[in-house]
């Protein structure tokens, strides 16, 4: 008698990798289920695809713009250097008045975050006795459409991606409740915390995957930028890491907030409307409102008033006025120093000495006024980012611009470097007069080779550590934002609304 064949066991379905820990297994099962639902939903595939296309388009536009600016910068720099060295034989002080330009280079990371560069200028004129502001602001030449804003990777990450986080999380709990599955899950022994972690894990995977694509595209853009210019951003990898950290805290905070609201809202519609109102406030209304509030509370002086204040202080300097009491006092001091009775008996050019003395006194005046202005700008930036724990865009934007090298602090670093080069030119011109001109000889000229010996202006942005150091407070604020939203989600999920 033959026995019946043993039944064939069905082929096991592939399961997600889990650990044996009982509290971890449900979390991974829930995350796997949520991930499969997202994959099967055509709406999410389309939305993710559109977001990726926006990122790629923004990166392509940013790359084209930065490479155009780099070419223009190189051409302008080379042309200005040629004009400077081709002055011919002339008096060194006249050459200092002839001056030259210092051009602000564009850093590679500006292809993702152009920051304030279009609003603060790209070149500064270096001339004798005067420290000029940076000029040629591209925003002034823009059309109305340009003033509405450009598509940049930073804009996509700051506005579109938080919307993605809201759409991922607003129905996490409320949707389960409306389908009648939330009470079933809880009755089967699934803990609310496990449900929260599972849903958060799947949604965070989507957000971080999109952010990883953005970072990979930015890294590729940096490689394609291919600049060997001396001003290329130092520590590009660490700066990119700073950007990634800031955006990760920002986006995960939005996801946690969406999960918290979903757990306690009466319906998915209520959760979505409330979160969209917050998104609108954070992305558009509050940043503009806080900016206007800070500007009105601590207004900067106008250019006219700023220049007038410097001019008032410079009245104490003698300049070219040989009858000025300061000039006469300096002349007497030099005569005593060299132990002669007449300027004609000095072994060096008194004109060169007086020009150097007047310039150095002017440097102190310029430093006092420009440093005071920069301190006020930094104070405004600090006040603007202060509410960042409530509206994280205010803390994220400074981090993004700082890591790209396009914030106020980096701009001031460039302006200081340009002023240092102006002073180098002034010192070289005065020293040439001191060493070679004879007292009483008003026709002295230096040879054409003198101008080539003065080095060209070469600027390099500071390293990544300098950028990170300046954003410690804002990174801490973003960390507190993420931690607060995570705590809200955790406590809200402990007792989710079931009915």
Q: Is the pLDDT of residue 104 over 50?
A: yes
Residue 261 in any domain: the answer is yes
Residue 475 in any domain: the answer is yes
Q: Looking at the predicted structure, is the pLDDT value of residue 6 above 50?
A: no
Helix/strand/coil for 101:
strand
Q: What is the mean pLDDT of residues 133-160?
A: 82
- The C-alpha atoms of residue 192 and residue 169 are separated, in whole angstroms, by 15
Q: In whole angstroms, give the CA distance from residue 100 to residue 94.
A: 12
**What is the distance between the alpha carbons of residues 111 and 60, in angstroms, rounded to a whole number?**
8
- 489 vs 319, higher pLDDT: 489
Confidence label for 9 from pLDDT (cuts 50, 70 and 90) = very low
What is the token pair recorded at 464?
């990544």
For residues 89 and 124, is the Cβ–Cβ distance under 8 A? no
Residues 6+ apart with CB under 8 A from 99: 125, 126, 127, 128, 425
* pLDDT for residue 226 is more than 90: no
- The per-residue pLDDT for 2 is 38
Q: Is 157 domain-assigned?
A: yes
Average pLDDT, the chain: 90
Share of the chain above pLDDT 90, in %: 80
State how far the Cα of 318 lies from the Cα of 450, in Å rounded to an integer. Answer: 27
In contact, 92 and 433? CB cutoff 8 Å: yes
Give the bridge partners for 287, in sequence order. Answer: none
Place of tokens 């998915």: 268
CB atoms within 10 A of CB 394: 22
What is the C-alpha to C-alpha distance for residues 39 and 361, in angstroms, rounded to an integer?
Answer: 69
pLDDT(22) > 60? no
pLDDT at residue 1, rounded to an integer = 39
| pLDDT for the residue numbered 138 | 85
Q: Between 212 and 22, whose confidence is greater?
A: 212
Q: Which residues contact 418 (CB under 8 A, 6 or more apart)?
A: 102, 124, 126, 134, 457, 459
For residue 92, the model assigns a pLDDT of: 94
> Region 180-188: what's the mean pLDDT?
86
Which of these, 459, 463, 458, 457, lies nearest to 405 by C-alpha position?
Answer: 463
Domain hosting residue 457, numbered range: 25-494
Rg over CA atoms, the chain: 32
Whether residue 78 contacts residue 445, with contact meaning beta carbons closer than 8 Å, is answered with no
User: Over the stretch 383-437, which tens digit does the pLDDT of each residue have?
Assistant: 999 999 999 999 999 999 999 999 999 999 999 999 999 999 999 999 999 999 9
At 25 the pLDDT is 87
- pLDDT beyond 70 at 147: no
Taking each helix axis as running N to C, give the angle between helix 393-404 and helix 286-297, from 0 to 180 degrees, rounded to the nearest 10.
80
CB-CB neighbours of 398 under 10 Å: 25
What pLDDT score was predicted for residue 10?
A: 46
What is d(CA 403, CA 113) in angstroms, rounded to the nearest whole number? 9
Q: What is the pLDDT of residues 437-486, one digit of tens each?
A: 998 888 899 999 999 999 999 998 899 999 999 999 999 999 999 999 99
Helix (H, G, I), strand (E, B) or coil at 52: helix
**Token couple for 188:** 């089967």
Asked, for residue 440, whether it belongs to a domain, the answer is: yes
Q: Is residue 366 over pLDDT 60?
A: yes
φ, ψ at 127 (rounded to 5°) = -135, 165
pLDDT at 186 over 80: yes
> Given a cut of 50, is residue 136 above it in pLDDT?
yes
Evaluate whether residue 149 is within a structural domain. Answer: yes
Of all residues in the chain, the percent with pLDDT exceeding 70 is 92
DSSP assignment of 173-203 equals: THHHHHHT-HHHHHHTT--HHHHHHHHHHHH
Whether residue 182 lies inside any domain: the answer is yes
Question: Which pLDDT band, with edges at 50, 70 and 90, does 371 fall under?
Answer: very high
Q: Would you give the distance in Å from CA 73 to the centre of its chain?
A: 20
pLDDT of residue 307: 96
pLDDT score for 148: 57
Confidence label for 284 from pLDDT (cuts 50, 70 and 90):
very high
- The pLDDT value given to residue 146: 55
Higher pLDDT, 85 or 236: 85
Kindly tell me if the per-residue pLDDT of 201 is higher than 80: yes
Q: 303 falls in which pLDDT band (50, 70, 90)?
A: very high
Q: Report how far residue 173's alpha carbon sits from residue 265's, in angstroms, rounded to the nearest whole number.
A: 9
Does residue 332 sit in helix, strand or coil? Answer: helix
The pair of three-digit structure tokens given for residue 16, joined into one six-digit string = 């997600």
Angstrom distance (rounded) from CA 250 to CA 376: 27
Token pair for 445? 């000229």
Please report the pLDDT score of residue 168 as a whole number: 96
Looking at residue 187, what is its pLDDT? 82
- Could you give the strand order of the β-sheet that contains 123-127, starting from the edge strand earlier in sequence? 100-103, 123-127, 130-131
Q: Report the C-alpha gap between 272 and 268 in whole angstroms.
A: 6
The pLDDT, as a whole number, for residue 21 is 52
The separation between the first and the last C-alpha atoms of the chain, rounded to the nearest angstrom, is 62
pTM above 0.85, yes or no: yes
Query: Does residue 405 form part of some domain?
Result: yes
pLDDT value, residue 140 = 77
Mind spelling out the 3-state secondary structure of 287-318? HHHHHHHHHHHCCCCCHHHHHHHHHHHHCCCC
Q: Residue 347 carries which DSSP code?
A: S
Cβ contacts of 36 within 8 Å, gap of 6 or more: none
Domain-located, residue 4: no
Give the total number of structural domains in the chain: 1
């Amino acid at each position: 008698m033959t026995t019946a064949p043993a039944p064939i066991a069905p082929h096991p379905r592939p399961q997600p990798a889990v650990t044996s820990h009982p509290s971890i297994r449900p979390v991974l099962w829930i995350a796997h289920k949520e991930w499969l639902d997202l994959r099967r939903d055509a709406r999410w595939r389309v939305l993710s695809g559109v977001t990726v296309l926006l990122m790629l388009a923004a990166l392509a536009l940013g790359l084209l713009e930065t490479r155009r600016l780099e070419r223009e910068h190189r051409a302008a720099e080379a042309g200005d250097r040629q004009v400077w060295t081709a002055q011919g034989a002339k008096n060194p002080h006249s050459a200092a008045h002839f001056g030259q330009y210092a051009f602000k280079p564009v850093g590679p990371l500006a292809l993702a975050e152009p920051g304030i560069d279009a609003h603060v200028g790209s070149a500064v004129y270096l001339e004798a006795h005067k420290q000029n502001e940076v000029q040629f602001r591209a925003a002034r030449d823009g059309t109305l459409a340009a003033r509405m804003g450009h598509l940049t990777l930073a804009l996509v990450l700051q506005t579109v991606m938080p919307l993605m986080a809201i759409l991922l999380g607003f129905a996490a709990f409320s949707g389960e409740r409306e389908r009648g599955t939330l009470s079933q899950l809880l009755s089967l022994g699934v803990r609310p915390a496990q449900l929260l972690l599972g849903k958060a894990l799947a949604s965070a995977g989507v957000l971080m995957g999109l952010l990883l694509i953005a970072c990979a595209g930015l890294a590729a853009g940096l490689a394609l930028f291919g600049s060997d210019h001396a001003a290329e951003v130092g520590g590009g990898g660490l700066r990119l890491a700073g950007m990634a950290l800031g955006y990760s805290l920002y986006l995960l905070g939005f996801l946690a907030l969406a999960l918290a609201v979903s757990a306690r809202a009466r319906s998915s519609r209520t959760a979505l409307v409330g979160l969209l109102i917050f998104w609108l406030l954070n992305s558009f209304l509050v940043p503009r409102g806080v900016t206007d509030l800070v500007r009105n509370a601590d207004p900067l002086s106008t250019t006219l008033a700023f220049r007038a204040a410097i001019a008032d202080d410079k009245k104490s300097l003698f300049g070219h006025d040989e009858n000025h009491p300061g000039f006469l006092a300096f002349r007497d001091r030099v005569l005593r120093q060299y132990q002669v009775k007449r300027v004609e008996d000095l072994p060096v050019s008194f004109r060169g000495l007086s020009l150097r003395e007047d310039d150095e006194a002017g440097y102190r005046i310029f430093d006092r006024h420009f440093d005071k202005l920069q301190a006020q700008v930094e104070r405004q930036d600090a006040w603007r980012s202060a509410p960042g724990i409530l509206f994280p865009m205010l803390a994220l934007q400074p981090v993004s611009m700082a890591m790209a090298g396009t914030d106020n602090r980096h701009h001031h670093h460039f302006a200081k470097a340009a002023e240092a080069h102006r002073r180098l030119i002034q010192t070289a011109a005065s020293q040439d007069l001191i060493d070679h001109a004879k007292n009483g000889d008003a026709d002295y000229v230096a040879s054409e080779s003198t101008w080539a010996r003065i080095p060209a202006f070469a600027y390099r942005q500071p390293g990544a550590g300098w950028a990170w150091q300046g954003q410690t407070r804002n990174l801490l604020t973003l960390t507190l934002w993420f931690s607060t939203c995570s705590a809200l989600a955790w406590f809200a999920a402990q007792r989710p609304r079931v009915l």
